[in-house]
Structure 1
Amino acid sequence: MRVFLILGSSSASIAGPRRYRHSHCKAPKSSLSNLSPTGTHLPFSSHTSTRHSPPALLSSVELDIAGASSGGRIPIQHYAGVASKLAEGGKLEDFAMVVESVVVAGVEPSQFGAMLAVELVAKGISRCLREGKVWSVVQVLRKVEELGISVLELCDEPAVESLRRDCRRMAKSGELEELVELMEVLSGFGFSVREMMKPSEVIKLCVDYRNPKMAIRYASILPHADILFCTTINEFGKKRDLKSAYIAYTESKANMNGSNMYIYRTIIDVCGLCGDYKKSRNIYQDLVNQNVIPNIFVFNSLMNVNAHDLNYTFQLYKNMQNLGVPADMASYNILLKACCLAGRVDLAQDIYREVKHLETTGVLKLDVFTYSTIVKVFADAKLWKMALRVKEDMQSAGVSPNMVTWSSLISSCANSGLVELAIQLFEEMVSAGCEPNTQCCNTLLHACVEGRQFDRAFRLFRSWKEKELWDGIERKSSTDNNLDADSTSQLCNTKMPNAPSHVHQISFVGNFAFKPTITTYNILMKACGTDYYHAKALMEEMKSVGLTPNHISWSILVDICGRSHDVESAVQILTTMRMAGVDPDVVAYTTAIKVCVEGKNWKLAFSLFEEMKRFEIQPNLVTYSTLLRARSTYGSLHEVQQCLAIYQDMRKSGFKSNDHYLKELIAEWCEGVIQKNNQQPVEITPCNKIDIGKPRCLILEKVADHLQKSFAESLTIDLQELTKVEARIVVLAVLRMIKENYALGESVKDDIFIILEVNKVETDLVPQNFEVRDAITRLLQDELGLEVLPTGPTIALDKVPNSESSKISHTTKLKGTMGRNKYFTRKPADVQRLKVTKKSLQDWLQRNR
């Protein structure tokens, strides 16, 4: 069989080469999408050659596909040499054309590939890659691969290194999509994608660019893709990007056959990391809907994420049991954690007894986490005896307490005021070889300060700074001037050579890395009591070790000034804070306000509150409560208005407090109206019975509203929805304000109208309630001597349905108790009012000047 092959007149004219962009720009989408069925698109097909009609290089070259021995005029090796030379010169498209022509002529691809000079072809590939023609190289290699010649055999190490270099360049320039696409192509050629770039680097790049779909697309081309799927989800979780993590989770499921519990566990853990426990429950519900039984690891992750919800956590535990999934030690540890968060000591004890029983039967083996968790449960509940009992169980079982265990035990004793026992546990911890961390040391210092053993706190601190730790407690005689007032207190002291015989000391010196923190110094500053200069020296020492005093440090300094009754210095510290580059926060301001209140400097306290508002610092509940309880009595209208304004601001900010104290002060201030000349106020007992059980204090709102009104015009007092006692307080508050304004020269302009009730449209059968009217009438007439006139009902047309001036009544159809229809006359809404005359007000004011 003889086949004729016609080639162009030059290697450059074999096929008009398509021009591609350099590798810093991706090849046009059209050039990659319009491929042959095998994914290859090249401009050197037989149809292209015919259209261009190149002049013949070999007018009539005859190839014998049976081999050189059959008499072929030019052997195949010649064309292999031509192709290799073309490739070496960087003419890869012409190289591919020769390969295609030979293969189409019937030569076995593997046979022709073996004849190619690989080092020359690889050299040409490297050359083109260096010139930035990465996508041209890719298309040529695709064509060659399609023709049946292995691309791997055409690339040597330098060529592979050139490909790696292009991958790194794309990653550095952020060409994420191009990089993944190139990786997919290289994977199809059989290259090891892991050798091109570390998978972790590509995943990190996708995470940085918030592109979860591209991350999953890349991971899918690698072996053990499920592990990379989990890595991708977890990396997005570390960035607190739950949205991208969930997209990666969804994409990974689409790229896998069946359910992968590792992926479910990872996305649930990420939900917990991002604080969205509801989404974790949705994932679990999806598994239930698909009749997929989660394994123990998925259940544990789900329970851990929802540990703050005790009921849901225990429901998951029951579901796990019903599905036949056996609980492991981690499951019980998470249940104990949920009990700890919920403060359910009883449930924690039950679980502890259950796991102890399972341990005796050999089903489980309690670990240090179980013991530490149950110890923390008891420690948080201040059940220090039970916590110590668990420690004994732990040691009996051969489990060594860890830092969490010891810290919980020390904290339990410290919070219970057992300083000596806390120090004993601290020393036992060090003796057991467990190195304390700074938090543990701070807990012990805090215990000493709370126990008012300030000297011991400073001794401990100094010894830790010198990296000396003793196992002994030095008991000194009562003649030692450095002891606390309590002669039974035990002070830690450094080991001294040739110590006096009366000192009982157990010598132990151990070194541990103690690095004081800002919290350490803050605790010690509290131990300074009223010694401002000592506290200030500690702040300077803090700076010398590279720590910056925080808001708490400055607040403690403010409080120290307050204890020494130095209000001016306490307020000045706020300015010093700003000069030091620390803006005062709500704690600092509240502390300063508290100092002013305790120093009876109310004007300065309220000015600090206004300053907070100017600096847009939101007061907290302590701030409001401190100001509202600043005074034990009100002496002027301004003081009442000031506190009511703060009260209203507190309510608008969403804070709720017990209003009883403020209402009592308002009531006392209002009752001050009832006095004659210089006589003492008349004590009215009903004012002490103001209802404080309402969801909002309507009386304070009413008083505040009325005291803010101007009296240049007529005045109306609205008593709707108030009880008779509350109505009394509102009326007295208005009269007290009128009296104080009158003393300042403001006269009464008009009568006062008091709205008792706006009656809705009712039937004649409904009786009216006159309790408030009678109580207010007695107050004004009998107690104050004012003239009160009923004004009669005034029609409120805006409150009457379909109100018209011509319609003053209509009928309403009611159904009687016997089932019969009756018709009653229905009256329009009216306003029940009282009038206090202007003349009587003037007479009353003149009498009570």
Structure 2
Amino acid sequence: MRVLVILCSSSSSITNPPKPSTTPSHHHKQFKPSSSHSSKLSPTKLPSSPTPSPFSILHSRSAPLSTVRWDTKKTHVSYLANIASKLVRDGKLQDFAMLVESVVVSGVEPTQFTAELSVDLIAKGISGFLRDGKGRRSVIEVLRKVDELGVPPLKLFDGSAMELLVKECRRILKCGEVEEFVELMEILAGFHFPINEVMKTSDVIKICARKSNPNMAIRYACLLPHANIIFCDIIYEFGKRGDLASALTVYEASKKNLSSTNMYIYRTAIDVCGSCGDYLKSRHIYEDMIKEKVTPNTYVLNSLMNVNAHDLNYTFHVYKNMQKLRVKADMASYNILLKACCIAGRVDLAQEIYREVQELESSGVLKLDVFTYSTIVKVLADAKLWQMALEVKKDMLSAGVTPNTITWSSLINACANAGLVEKAIQLFEEMLLAGCEPNSQCCNILLHACVEACQYDRAFRLFQAWKGNKAEKTFGKDDKGNINGNSSAANACGRRVTSMSHFSSNLHNLYYSKGFVFTPTTTTYNTLMKACGTDYYRAKVLMDEMKTVGLFPNQISWSILIDLCGGSGNVEGALQILRSMRADGVEPDVVAYTTVIKVCVECKDLKLAFSLFEEMKRYQIQPNLVTYNTLLRARSRYGSLHEVQQCLAVYQDMRRAGYKSNDYYLKQLIEEWCEGVTQDNNQNQGELSPCIKTDSGRPQSLLLEKVAEHLLKRIAESLAIDLRGLTKVEARIVVLAVLQMVKENYSLGHPVKEDMLIILGTSKINAEIDKRKLEVKDAITKLLQDELGLEVRPMGSKIALDKHIDKENSVDLSPKSKDKLARNGLANEYKHSTRRPVVIQRLRVTGESLNHWLQRRSAIRQ
């Protein structure tokens, strides 16, 4: 006999155990359980006994635990297993754990005890806990306890219990509780549960990616078999959502958790860098591989070249490294090189690669595929080399490679780019006869070719013919049953009756006998809207039809409609379309705004044009080069300071945006505006000073920046004109621009309150003032005194330190100059500094003479 201590709480559903034969007899028949019926014991079948149950003994403070003794034979193990099973059935998991612990402590083998458990009862109890979703933690705690005691937790689950457990796990994941789900999976994995069967791995990965939680995805991947594949799937899923940082976190974790190098993970990480638009990261991954002395395979290097295909030099650098590493290039490698040449527009290099792969094919090393031919055809098509593209088509057919839709589209595009509409249509017909069904892109290319050639009616005929059942209504039939175009359509197409008759016959033969499914796209309708010419209402009908077929007009659609409306001079209509665009849920882009601005400029509504420009900036829409040029060329002359300031502000904004401007036109307008200052003083009003002729070959940006610097100042600022670095012509324009500003401010009630200071330039101490500065000084003095009648007084030279001169350019000062520096308190600074002092030459125009001049001008205007 062994001592068995029962550590369970009392329960009415648990019967008293059978009394051993050595105990005194009672007044009723003794019950003897058997192994075959022990699991079916019921409280109604047990005899009553005056002896207290072990549970009552357990809860009695006076009864020691050692007083309860049980036989460890199979009969009693079965009996205890039955009790334990019923405890679980009744939801008393803690009592069940305590009973199991007592059984194991008593020396019963866990496997023997587990074999006697009633799985049905236990599964029923566990299912009850899991069903309400509140007892999950209790179940886990019990499983952990029995696992520590050596009882396999998996043995406690049947099919229904496992199904409920899976359902609970799915509920947790569906609620977005990723961390709780992963923790549960880790616990179940420790119990040897098949967690790969609990949930679809892809569902877990998607939710982790949606929650941007790479750490939970990493922990989950480490629990599963084939973790190397799971890591690749996780990297790809994060990359698909544009979360490159999380994808790279998983990539770094994969290198730490995987025992061997996995090329597929490297390749996936590089591909994700490309899809997220960060090609530099892909290069870092490749460099890390090289540093770790990992030799990449062909697929990794192909991915690296493909991601960096926009950089032709780097792509070929990787290709050369592939040769150095003795990694064999396959057909995909050469196709990517051709793609890089296509993006860079390097036709010569693409032809060289094409000849090389042809030689490899002749030697049996490689076999050119349809992608190779299609890429080289596209390279030639973009370069408008349609004849060479057709030669490639012949090579393709002779090699036994059948052109696909992309190949035919590229061939049609080659002829379309060259303006060969008839040839493009002929290729389209060949495509249909070859049994290749065109896609929407191919059809759009053909429509675009017709529009570019101004064959608008032909574009509509093609569109109607492709729509199938509407073709007969569009073209009608002649006596022979052929589809013909009506006379008005033929006249609209430039009276191409003969060619259109042949074209219509081909339509009848091909689009019905070789019919294909045509699904128009937004691009299709946009192209047809351009084919409307100046017919705004027809374009509006097309846009409505687009919505009817389930397509949504995009920004290009609205911009085309704005342009057609504005072409008839309807500024209000164009502006209303812009407002309707935003109300329809499409945010206007720079093209839409620029189109409306162009309409306003053409209709001379410049105030509205500049207000739309300001509205663009409020909506944080960056103007493009066309926007800036449209505004800068809006005026043929300037009539006020406000107009000049507007255009100068646009000019400076354009320069800050990084665009190069043609300054000549703007400079000419500013010169004309500035010379208005001197016209009242000259007898010949229409004759300008010969000084205004600009210096040939000199960039105008410095002049315009100087003018803008002074004219965009506030009125309250001091009148100081800096002419340093300007020629005498440019200096004259700047001075006249400031005087024009002063004159207009005076007319608005802002008199001059101080002198005007003119800074001519700097010169080195003890060095002669060069000839150019003397010319500027003489020209400005002559302008102010002789032409305008202003009082000009020279000012004394001002000594300052040039902060831009280094020690190598410094010179020794004469004693007189050193004394002058000492009087100005600069001697010590110069002694310990490598900066050299400079002399600033200045002129002063008295405020009194400026006011007299302004009064005279005002009197002349009156």
1:40-51 equivalences under 5 Å are none
Counterpart of 2:592 in 1: which secondary structure?
helix
In 1, distance between residues paired with 2:675 and 2:498?
54
Counterpart of 2:259 in 1: which secondary structure?
coil
1:63-212 equivalences under 5 Å are 63=71, 76-130=77-131, 132-212=134-214
Judge which range, 116-125 or 330-339, deviates more. Answer: 116-125
TM-score of the two chains, using structure 2 as the length reference: 0.81
Counterpart contact for 1:713–1:749, Cα < 8 Å: no
1:111 maps to a residue whose letter is Q
Counterpart contact for 1:674–1:681, Cα < 8 Å: no
1:618-657 equivalences under 5 Å are 618-657=622-661
- 1:631 is displaced (CA, Å) by 2.7
Q: What residue is the counterpart of 1:537 in the other structure?
A: 541
1:215-614 equivalences under 5 Å are 215-466=217-468, 481-482=490-491, 484-485=493-494, 487=496, 490-491=499-500, 509=512, 510-567=514-571, 569-575=573-579, 577=581, 584-610=588-614, 612=616
Q: 1:680 aligns with which of 651, 662, 686?
A: 686
1:244 maps to a residue whose letter is S
Counterpart contact for 2:466–2:511, Cα < 8 Å: no
Counterpart contact for 2:7–2:98, Cα < 8 Å: no
- 1:57 is displaced (CA, Å) by 7.6
- 1:456 is displaced (CA, Å) by 0.4
**CA separation of 1:751 and 1:518: change in aligned 2, threshold 3 A:** same
- 1:600 is displaced (CA, Å) by 4.0
Judge which range, 216-225 or 476-485, deviates more. Answer: 476-485
**CA separation of 1:659 and 1:486: change in aligned 2, threshold 3 A:** farther
Q: What residue is the counterpart of 1:5 in the other structure?
A: 4
- 1:583 is displaced (CA, Å) by 5.7
| 1:59 lines up with 2:59 in the alignment | no
In 2, distance between residues paired with 1:141 and 1:480?
83
In 2, distance between residues paired with 1:8 and 1:571?
86
2:321 maps to a residue whose letter is N
- 1:607 is displaced (CA, Å) by 4.5
Judge which range, 654-663 or 287-296, deviates more. Answer: 654-663
Q: What residue is the counterpart of 1:706 in the other structure?
A: 710
Counterpart of 1:354 in 2: which secondary structure?
helix
1:227 maps to a residue whose letter is I
Counterpart of 2:258 in 1: which secondary structure?
coil
- 1:450 is displaced (CA, Å) by 0.8
Counterpart contact for 2:8–2:98, Cα < 8 Å: no
The Cα offsets for residues 328-352 of structure 1, whole Å up to 9 and x where unpaired, read as: 1111111111111112222211211
Counterpart of 1:631 in 2: which secondary structure?
coil
Counterpart contact for 1:293–1:323, Cα < 8 Å: yes
Counterpart of 1:717 in 2: which secondary structure?
strand
The Cα offsets for residues 136-179 of structure 1, whole Å up to 9 and x where unpaired, read as: 33333334344444333332222222322322232233333332
Unaligned runs of 5+ in 1: 14-48, 69-73, 497-502, 815-823
Q: What residue is the counterpart of 2:29 in the other structure?
A: none
- 1:648 is displaced (CA, Å) by 2.8
Q: What residue is the counterpart of 1:821 in the other structure?
A: none
**CA separation of 1:109 and 1:663: change in aligned 2, threshold 3 A:** same
Counterpart contact for 1:168–1:197, Cα < 8 Å: yes
**CA separation of 1:592 and 1:205: change in aligned 2, threshold 3 A:** closer
Counterpart contact for 1:6–1:56, Cα < 8 Å: no
Counterpart contact for 2:468–2:511, Cα < 8 Å: no
In 2, distance between residues paired with 1:574 and 1:214?
47
Counterpart contact for 2:127–2:164, Cα < 8 Å: yes
**CA separation of 1:223 and 1:784: change in aligned 2, threshold 3 A:** same
- Answer 1 or 2: which has greater helix percent: 2
Counterpart of 2:3 in 1: which secondary structure?
strand
- 1:745 is displaced (CA, Å) by 8.9
Q: What residue is the counterpart of 1:46 in the other structure?
A: none
- 1:303 is displaced (CA, Å) by 1.4
In 1, distance between residues paired with 2:748 and 2:144?
99
In 2, distance between residues paired with 1:293 and 1:513?
48
**CA separation of 1:260 and 1:163: change in aligned 2, threshold 3 A:** same
In 2, distance between residues paired with 1:401 and 1:747?
80
**CA separation of 1:519 and 1:660: change in aligned 2, threshold 3 A:** same
- 1:638 is displaced (CA, Å) by 4.3
In 2, distance between residues paired with 1:268 and 1:372?
25
C-alpha RMSD of the superposition: 4.2
In 2, distance between residues paired with 1:208 and 1:550?
28
Judge which range, 795-804 or 147-156, deviates more. Answer: 795-804
The Cα offsets for residues 448-499 of structure 1, whole Å up to 9 and x where unpaired, read as: 11101111011111112235889x9999999995363375983378857xxx
Counterpart of 2:710 in 1: which secondary structure?
helix
Judge which range, 438-447 or 670-679, deviates more. Answer: 670-679
Kindly tell me the number of residue pairs found equivalent between the two proteins: 789
- 1:786 is displaced (CA, Å) by 5.5
TM-score of the two chains, using structure 1 as the length reference: 0.82
Counterpart of 2:208 in 1: which secondary structure?
helix
1:745-784 equivalences under 5 Å are 752-759=756-763, 762-765=764-767, 767-768=769-770, 769-780=773-784
1:681 maps to a residue whose letter is E
1:222 maps to a residue whose letter is L
**CA separation of 1:830 and 1:533: change in aligned 2, threshold 3 A:** closer
Counterpart of 2:491 in 1: which secondary structure?
coil
**CA separation of 1:445 and 1:489: change in aligned 2, threshold 3 A:** farther
Counterpart contact for 2:648–2:708, Cα < 8 Å: yes
1:109 maps to a residue whose letter is P
Counterpart contact for 1:570–1:592, Cα < 8 Å: yes
